[in-house]
Amino acid sequence: MMTASARLSTGIDGWDTILNGGFLPHTNALLRGPPGAGKTTLGLHFLIAGLESEETGMFINLGEPEGYIRESVERLGFSPESIEILDLAPSNEEFSESESYSLFSPAEVEQPSMVEAIRSAIDEYSPDRVLLDPITEFRYLTPNDHQFRKQIMSFLDFVKDHSITVLLTSQASPADPDNDLQFLADTVVSLERHPEWQSISVSKFRGSGFVRGRHAYEINGSGVRVFPSLQPGESVSEFDDRQFSSGVPELDEMLHGGLEAGTLTFLSGPTGVGKTTTGIQFMKEAAGRGNTSILYTFEESPKTLIHRAEMVNIPINDMMDQGTLRLVEVSPLEFTVDEFGERLRVAVEHNDAEILMLDGISGFKSGLRGMDEDPTRDLLRIGRYLRNHGVTAIYSNEVHDVTGTFRATEENTSNLADNVIFLRHVEFKGRMRKVIGVLKKRASDFETELRELEITEHGLRVGDPLPQLRGILTGTPEWTDAETDGAYVVE
C-alpha cells in the first residue's frame, strides 16, 4: 500500500531529481509550454512509469491524432494497447461534415457530453494515473473564464476523490495565458524553448521541496532526457587531506608539496606557454600512484594533445589503457552546460575521478549551450561541486596578451580559484624563455620566487629561482645585473 510520503516516478530520472523523487500521490500537476516542446512525450513517460509499477494509466486525448499517440507509446518500448486512450479530439470526418468547423457545437456547451465521457471512462476503468492533453481545450466548453475555472475545479476534485494522480498539459503562450490553471494546480512545471536549447523548471510544488532553476532537457528517438543543473550544496563527500605531487621536485617546492585535494587551480598564461602540459604532468604523477584523472579538452583535438604529450615524455596512451586517465573531447555546442554537468557528475560519483582538468576555459564559456548570462557562475558552480567531493580541479586559462600588462586570468575569474599558477613568455638576450610562478595558494604557504620553465623531450623541467628577473607583474619584464649569458639557463 502506498504511503503518504511515497513518490510517483515521472519515468525520467532527471525529472524525478528535480522533483525530489517524483510527484506526490493523488495530486495534480500542470505541465505547460509552447507547441512542440514535448509535453505529450513527457506525459507518456509519466503514464509508462506507472505501468512499470503495476499501475493503470489513461490518456485523455483532446488534441493529438490517436495514431500518433499509439506510435509514441510504441517508440517508448511499450505495447500501444497497454494504455487506455480516451480519444475526444476532433476527427477528420467531423471537420469534413461541417461547412464551418468549430470544435464544439452550442448544444455541447449546454450539455457537456465531453465532461460526461471523461467521468464515465474514469468510473469504468479506474486508472491510477491520468494524462489529460491539453486541459486548455476545456475553455471551449465554457462561455467565460469563471465557468472554466469552476469546471476545472470540479474535474480536479473528481479525480482526487478517485485517488488518481493526474498530469494536465497546457498550451501556454503570452496571447493565451494560463495563470488560472497555475493557481489551481498542486504542481507547476514549465517547458521553455531557447535559441540553442530547451529547459524545464518547477515553480510550484505543494507539500514538497524541489530543485530550483532551469534545467536542460532533450528529446530524441527514445524519449526525453532531463539534465538537472549541478547543485554544489546538495551532496558533500568525505575525503582525506592529501596533496597531489607534480613529480617535478622544483615545482613541488614552489607549491610547498603540491596541490591539495578538493582545491581548484588556475593555470594561467598565453598560448603556447605550457599550461596543458603542466596540468597533465600532475595527472601523470597521479597515474603512477594509482589515482584516476579525467581531462576535458574544449579547444584541442585529442589526437593533437596526445601527440604533444607523448613528445614530452607524458605517456597518455598508456595512462588511458591502464584506466588511470580518461580524455574527453567536448566539441563546440555539443552539450548544454547541464548535460556536461551530468557527465561530470558521473565521472566523479561513479567513475571515481580524483583529478579533473578543464582544458580551455574560453572554449568552455563559448562551447556549451544554455550557459548562464554570466558564464563565470557556471564555472563557480562546477568548482564548488568538485571541491565538495574532494576532487582536485585544474582549469587552464588563456590570457590573450603575450606581452603587456600582467593579468592573472581573463575576465576576472581568479577569485574562483584556490591556487593560481601563472606561466609567461619572457625575452632574454634575443631568445624566448618561459617562467613559472605561484600567485595564490589558500591551503598553505608557497614560494614567491619565479623560476624558469622548460618543456623538453624528457619532460617538464623547472629551474632554480630567478632573483634577477624583474617586472613580470608590471607587464615589462627585464633581467637586471646578469653576470653571464648562461647564468639563468636551466642545465
Kindly report the three-state secondary structure assignment for every residue of 393-459: EEEEEECCCCCCCCCCCHHHCHHHCCEEEEEEEEEECCEEEEEEEEEEECCCCCCCCCEEEEEECCE
How many Cβ atoms sit within 10 Å of the Cβ of residue 194?
12
Phi, psi torsion values for 456, nearest 5 degrees:
-115, 175
Q: Is the dihedral of CA 406, 410, 415, 417 positive or negative?
A: negative
Mean pLDDT by 10 residues, the chain (491 residues): 71 96 97 93 94 93 84 82 84 47 43 77 95 85 80 91 96 82 96 94 96 94 92 72 94 96 94 94 96 96 95 96 96 94 94 95 92 86 93 90 56 78 82 89 92 93 82 62 45 30
Question: Which residues are within 8 A (CB) of 480 and not within 5 positions of it... i.e. 6 or more apart?
Answer: 468, 469, 470
Residues of the chain with CATH 3.40.50.300: 13-227, 243-479
**377 vs 382: CA distance, rounded Å:** 9
Phi, psi torsion values for 447, nearest 5 degrees:
-80, 135
How many Cβ atoms sit within 10 Å of the Cβ of residue 323?
10
**111 vs 142: CA distance, rounded Å:** 11
What's the order of all strands across the beta sheet hosting 431-441?
Answer: 325-329, 293-297, 355-359, 392-398, 264-269, 419-428, 431-441, 451-456, 459-465
What does the pLDDT read at residue 488? 40
For the chain, the C-alpha Rg in angstroms (whole number) is 30
The angle formed by the CA atoms of residues 367, 317 and 239, to the nearest 5 degrees, is: 70
What does the pLDDT read at residue 407? 59
Say if CB 392 and CB 260 are below 8 A apart: yes
Say if CB 470 and CB 464 are below 8 A apart: no
What does the pLDDT read at residue 411? 59
Phi, psi torsion values for 350, nearest 5 degrees:
-115, -30
DSSP helix/strand/coil, 134: coil
Phi, psi torsion values for 410, nearest 5 degrees:
-80, 150
Report DSSP state, residue 81.
Answer: G
What does the pLDDT read at residue 109? 44
- Which residue type is seen at 323? G
For domain 243-479, give the CATH number.
Answer: 3.40.50.300
For domain 13-227, give the CATH number.
Answer: 3.40.50.300
Residue 479's H or E segment, with its range, is strand 478-479
Say if CB 298 and CB 367 are below 8 A apart: yes
E-strand stretches of 128-286: 129-133, 165-171, 187-193, 198-205, 215-220, 223-227, 243-244, 259-260, 264-269
Closest CA to 268 of 356, 397, 441, 379: 397
What does the pLDDT read at residue 70? 86
What does the pLDDT read at residue 470? 67
DSSP helix/strand/coil, 150: helix
Say if CB 264 and CB 415 are below 8 A apart: no
What does the pLDDT read at residue 464? 86
How many Cβ atoms sit within 10 Å of the Cβ of residue 364?
24
| Burial label, 254 (beta-carbon count in 10 A; 0-12, 13-18, 19+) | buried
What does the pLDDT read at residue 122? 94
Instruction: Indicate the pTM of the whole model.
Output: 0.84
| Burial label, 35 (beta-carbon count in 10 A; 0-12, 13-18, 19+) | exposed
E-strand stretches of 303-407: 325-329, 355-359, 392-398
